[in-house]
Structure 1
């Protein structure tokens, strides 16, 4: 058994799916065709034999009706003719057999029993005068005699053989047709898979993910499973193309952004290598510039590493109080931007609420928003931060969401720049003279989405830019320190 299974497995591995499907479909249709032909043969044989038996019984009935002398009669040799019946009357007592009578039909003990009425009528197969016959032996009621009627059965056998040959031809044609249909079905049914395989091989052979599988036109053609599989594969290829494009753009943008600070680093390093030719003031300026550029490169590399992360590590997720994080981040921003007036307003209902998240990552998100607002605020201008609770519908178990806004009073965001605010390395025309790499807002949105929140940008009423962070509250969210509590 193990060897048989091993051979079957090796055969399946060596045969392509199209061949296996064609063979399976052909075998299924062939089995049905052969089964139908075999059933038809059995039915034809039964019906022809049954018809012969009905003729024998009908002949016996006619003889009963027109024969008056029911004495034992000798048999004849009329069974040598295909259409003539061979008739013989047999007595239950062997002593009453006609003297010297020739018995064309054999008389056995069973025949005597039928004549005596001790046995029911029966059919039998025998050979008379060298010809195959079928004989019917029946008892005559009221007499101790049996009537034997025989008809040649070679015509029936010839018809059965002809039917067998005809059905064999039909079965062979059915098997050939099954093979052709199986090949056609496999070729047509697996066409989407063949196109999918060819497309996958082209994508694997080249880095171009723009290949797609041609789908049949019309909405009705998308209802079968193979077409849906091809459409899903096209969707996957589209996502792959977007990912490859984004990766290439990130690498190109990163290399472009790194080129300038690395060039400056090399220049200052070369200056410091010739420190003996520089004055003390020149060495100090070169060292200061070198340190600043190292910090910029380090920050840029760290930002790129952060952007490469798609989600938060689950072991680092804990219950975080956004109000406390916001207070801490605003305090740090005040130290870093002493010329900017940061204001903070926290809704008492939101002060004690907690959400699941990674504190360090959420702190980075808030710091990026505050640094971005401070860069665009005029000296002495305010940056307003506010945290409020937006309750959910009364009929829903959703507790609502926390709404955190950061607003500056700078020039605002131009309409043409608003769709690209969160793009990587994107810097508006008015921001290109300011420090930064253009990754802060892209990183902020990525952190927000990793925490199930949404970060948006808009023009603030009265001027300036407004960034809004919406953090949904899950059912069962609790409050710590008063203000509001969920169950």
Structure 2
């Protein structure tokens, strides 16, 4: 690729990088200013050339008129009057005469020559006089005043163009600031909705029938609000269904549990009692999930020594895990009953889906539950626990981690799930210090 092409591609790449680094408001302002600059340059060039044509045409006509007058005087008197009141130089066979003009004059033509590029701009007019030998009568008229006038005219055009471009940039920034602000508001509301705040709304005025297809921001805001309302309705319907199912199951399950207790002792009776107990546990879990979804749970917070509290919880759970390891003793402000629910579910999940040994460790205000099994699935780490989605072996109901994370939110704690580098799942509960 030629060097010029490479330089052009590099310049375009730099321009793209600069535009990509700008916000929408400044992009619109920059593009509007660039468009106005192109228009201003085009108009300036047209006006400049029109004015230049006007000046040069007038200068050529004036030089020709002077040449005609001086030729008439020359034919009458045989002399060239070199002292002109208007500053025109009339000379016979002037050595300064441009070569093209001299050649055209000797060829029998009356012509003009314009020189605007030199330090002393001027216009020449020349024609042949005499027969043998032929002489060239020329007139030189200075255009310094016209050149200064053109320079001043160009400066005014450039200043005017710069003012127009600046006003266009300011106007573009002002007009696009509202658009940018509305888009940022829509993005902020969308983020709030994605984080679970389903009551968030943009509340942008809806476009009228005649405005459809014209106000894209209003249509976007309406679409986001409609999506949020639809999502909220579906989630509320799901929550009501879960709560209603769990509530309706409690009464028949209580009766079924009572009836199972009246059965004579046998292996089938034990199986029935075990399944009834599992159904009762599932029903209570569903009710707990429904309460967490409704955000009606209120924690009973108090100050506890975390190491001792976790040790008591592990002993009460009677879980086959290693002794609790404690590094330092830190006091935390938490709900002991809900923390017990969180740790019990995490330990039970580690035993059910992980591998022994299951370790519980307290370090400051953090409680770590780790197993030595295959670890959490990648989809769980990416998307979080999903209801009724069990482990690889399909055991359990898939509500344990959901309840643990929900109860942690109630008490102001945070649960982070990860996989250890040497294998095994790791769940870390971070509690607020007292």
TM-score (norm 1): 0.46
For 2:58, the equivalent position in structure 1 comes to 51
In the alignment, structure 1 residue 76 sits paired with structure 2 residue 82: yes
In the alignment, structure 1 residue 214 sits paired with structure 2 residue 204: yes
Contact kept, 8 Å, 2:82 with 2:91, in 1: the verdict is: yes
For residue 51 of structure 1, report the CA deviation from its aligned partner: 1.9
Contact kept, 8 Å, 2:190 with 2:224, in 1: the verdict is: no
For 1:121, the equivalent position in structure 2 comes to 111
For 1:245, the equivalent position in structure 2 comes to 236
In the alignment, structure 1 residue 199 sits paired with structure 2 residue 189: yes
CA distance in 2, matches of 1:137, 1:6: 54
Among 85, 88, 93, the residue aligned to 2:91? 88
For residue 263 of structure 1, report the CA deviation from its aligned partner: 3.0
> Superposition RMSD on alpha carbons, in Å?
4.4
Contact kept, 8 Å, 2:101 with 2:112, in 1: the verdict is: no
For 1:261, the equivalent position in structure 2 comes to 252
| 1:52-90 per-position Cα deviation (integer Å, ceiling 9, x unaligned) | 1122123334445x5362675356254xx6x34322344
Q: Secondary structure at the match of 2:212?
A: helix
For residue 113 of structure 1, report the CA deviation from its aligned partner: 3.8
Map of 1:461-480 to 2, 5 A cutoff? none
Contact kept, 8 Å, 1:70 with 1:89, in 2: the verdict is: no
| 1:391-416 per-position Cα deviation (integer Å, ceiling 9, x unaligned) | xxxxxxxxxxxxxxxxxxxxxxxxxx
Q: Secondary structure at the match of 1:69?
A: helix
Q: Secondary structure at the match of 1:211?
A: coil
For 1:27, the equivalent position in structure 2 comes to 34
For residue 211 of structure 1, report the CA deviation from its aligned partner: 1.7
Change (3 A) 1:111 1:179: closer
| 1:97-147 per-position Cα deviation (integer Å, ceiling 9, x unaligned) | xxxxxx6x735665654443355623143999x964321113469894543
For residue 174 of structure 1, report the CA deviation from its aligned partner: 1.6
In the alignment, structure 1 residue 137 sits paired with structure 2 residue 121: no
Gaps of 5+ in 1: 91-102, 305-487
| 1:256-305 per-position Cα deviation (integer Å, ceiling 9, x unaligned) | 12322333344445x35xx7xxxx6xx79x969x68x96xx69x99xx9x
TM-score (norm 2): 0.51
For residue 159 of structure 1, report the CA deviation from its aligned partner: 0.5
For residue 38 of structure 1, report the CA deviation from its aligned partner: 3.2
For 2:419, the equivalent position in structure 1 comes to none
CA distance in 2, matches of 1:133, 1:153: 5
For residue 7 of structure 1, report the CA deviation from its aligned partner: 5.6
Contact kept, 8 Å, 2:108 with 2:128, in 1: the verdict is: no
Q: Secondary structure at the match of 2:107?
A: coil
Change (3 A) 1:76 1:131: farther
CA distance in 2, matches of 1:106, 1:175: 45
CA distance in 2, matches of 1:153, 1:4: 41
Which structure is larger by alpha-carbon Rg, 1 or 2? 1
Map of 1:359-438 to 2, 5 A cutoff? none
Gaps of 5+ in 2: 1-5, 287-434
Contact kept, 8 Å, 1:22 with 1:186, in 2: the verdict is: yes
For 1:230, the equivalent position in structure 2 comes to 221
